[in-house]
Amino acid sequence: MNIHLYLEEAGQVSIAFIIGAVLGLEREFRSKPAGFRTMILISVGSCLYTILSQELGGISSSDRIASNIVTGIGFIGAGVIFKEGISVNGLTTAALIWVTAALGMAIGYKNYPLALVVTIIVVVALFVLEPVQRFINKFHRVKDYKIRLLETGNNFQQDLESFFQQHDLSFRCMKVLKENSDAIYTYRISSPDRNYDLVNHFLLDHKEVKGFDV
């Protein structure tokens, strides 16, 4: 029984716990699907599998378990990605799950400097760069609208496109389909001054509009 080896491995798992906790706090703060405890478990689990792969298979074959960790993490990441309307959510959380597993593996392989550098980079990306992303998002000039109408909406398309022309909005009808008795239009709209409140109010006030997603 090698006490020093067990203490070293316990230290590795503890470091993986701390890294998972730091990254999980950010997701928990934003009420994301994979939060504090999930990130801890992913980091610790990846670290443990990496340690065991080296003990059971040796350095030469440890990559087999490591590759399976990546595959398994892919399934977990896919589970937090979901489509809401015409938007896709959960991509950042899925990417963070992937990186957290990689950090756990790095700790399992005793590559502490690399794990530290990557953790700092991830923390900067999550906390520091968020205001930068919000600033960039303000310059988005194109938005997709999915508009559901009451029945077929006899005059809606003509009214909407006349509204766009009156307010100098560029537009393109991407898709038209019928679901049950409702017509659904998907429009890509570009506003030079990024003022989409006019469009939102028009759709809210139009009597033929049942609902819309942006």
What does the H/E/C string look like for the chain? CCHHHHHHHHHHHHHHHHHHHHHHHHHHHCCCCCCHHHHHHHHHHHHHHHHHHHHHHHHHHHHHHHHHHHHHHHHHHHHCCEEECCEEECHHHHHHHHHHHHHHHHHHCCCHHHHHHHHHHHHHHHHHCHHHHHHHHCCCCEEEEEEEECCCCCCHHHHHHHHHHHCCCEEEEEEEEEECCEEEEEEEEECCCCCCHHHHHHHHHCCCEEEEEC
What are 177-190's pLDDT values in tens digits? 888 878 888 888 88
What percentage of the chain carries pLDDT values higher than 70? Answer: 87
What domains, with CATH codes, occur in the chain? 3-135 (no CATH), 142-213 (3.30.70.260)
Q: How far apart are CA 98 and CA 102, in angstroms?
A: 6
Report the chain's mean pLDDT, rounded to a whole number.
83
Does residue 7 register a pLDDT over 60?
yes
What are 45-104's pLDDT values in tens digits? 999 988 888 877 655 555 667 777 878 887 887 777 776 555 667 788 888 999 999 999
Decide which of 107 and 80 is more confident.
Answer: 107
What are 113-158's pLDDT values in tens digits? 999 999 999 999 888 887 887 777 666 667 888 888 877 667 788 8
Instruction: Kindly provide the b/e burial profile for residues 27-46, where b requires at least 16 CB atoms within 10 angstroms of the residue's own CB.
Output: bbeeebebbbebbbbbbbbb
pTM over 0.95: no
